[in-house]
Structure formats: structure tokens, C-alpha cells
Amino acid sequence: MPSYHKKAEVRWLGYYITQDWKWTHQIQTWINKAAKTGRAIGALTARYQKGGLNAWSTQRLIKGLILPQLTYGVAVWANKGKLKEAAKSLHTIIRRAFSLQTKTPSLAIETEIGISPHNLYV
């Protein structure tokens, strides 16, 4: 009979389920994945002057790669208090990708770029 090792979490259909059924590991994992993808998009757009990505391509990459990662399973953990951290991560990625100043209001960024606020995905 095979022996099984006890793990801190189990990954099933993309969800990380812990023994105490808390979603913090799930949320943090997907936020970290989105941040890593955001750094890659930021590196591509940093070379804009040398033939890198334009604004339309950057916006499509954020909508196609970042938003699905930050909203994966949001229906399950919407009331868990981590939405602010995910929204902050999204704004950091957008600011880095488009080389925006930190003083630019978030609503202005979302309106100009065409990306809906993170809390609308709940």
C-alpha cells in the first residue's frame, strides 16, 4: 500500500485548499503569479522606444493575462478581505507597464487605459 505524505495544501482544479479551508494561500499564489507576469509585461514595454510593445498591445496583455489570474476564484473568496491586495497588485502592474507616476489617481488610470476596476469582477 502506498504511503501518502500529509501536505499543507492540496491543489484541485486550480484552487489551493488548505486544511483549515482558508483562502489566503490561494489568493496569495495567484497574486504572485500575476505580479510575475506583470513584471514580464513591464520589461517588454520598457523597450517601447526600441521596438517594444505599444499601448494597445500592453492593454490587451493585461486584460488577457493579468485579470484572469487576479480574478480566478473570486466568487469564492470575495468576502475574505483580500480584494484590496489584488486591486493594489493590479494597479502596480498597470503603473509599471505604462510607466505612470504614483500620484496619478487610480480612477483616471482605469478610465484612460480601459480596464475596469477590480471590484467589478466580484
> For 31-63, how does the pLDDT look when each residue is reduced to its tens digit (9 = 90+)?
888 999 999 888 888 776 566 678 888 889 888
Rounded to whole angstroms, how far apart are CA atoms 80 and 92? 21
Rounded to whole angstroms, how far apart are CA atoms 104 and 116? 16
| pLDDT reported for residue 36 | 92
Rounded to whole angstroms, how far apart are CA atoms 109 and 104? 7
Predicted model pTM:
0.75
Task: Estimate the share of the chain in helix, then strand, then coil, as percent rounded to the nearest 5.
Answer: 60, 5, 35
Percent of the chain scored above 90 by pLDDT? 2
Task: Please say whether the beta carbons of 104 and 95 come within 8 A.
Answer: yes
Residue 53, amino acid: L
**89 falls in which pLDDT band (50, 70, 90)?**
confident
In the beta sheet, which residues pair with residue 12?
15
Task: Please say whether the beta carbons of 89 and 70 come within 8 A.
Answer: yes
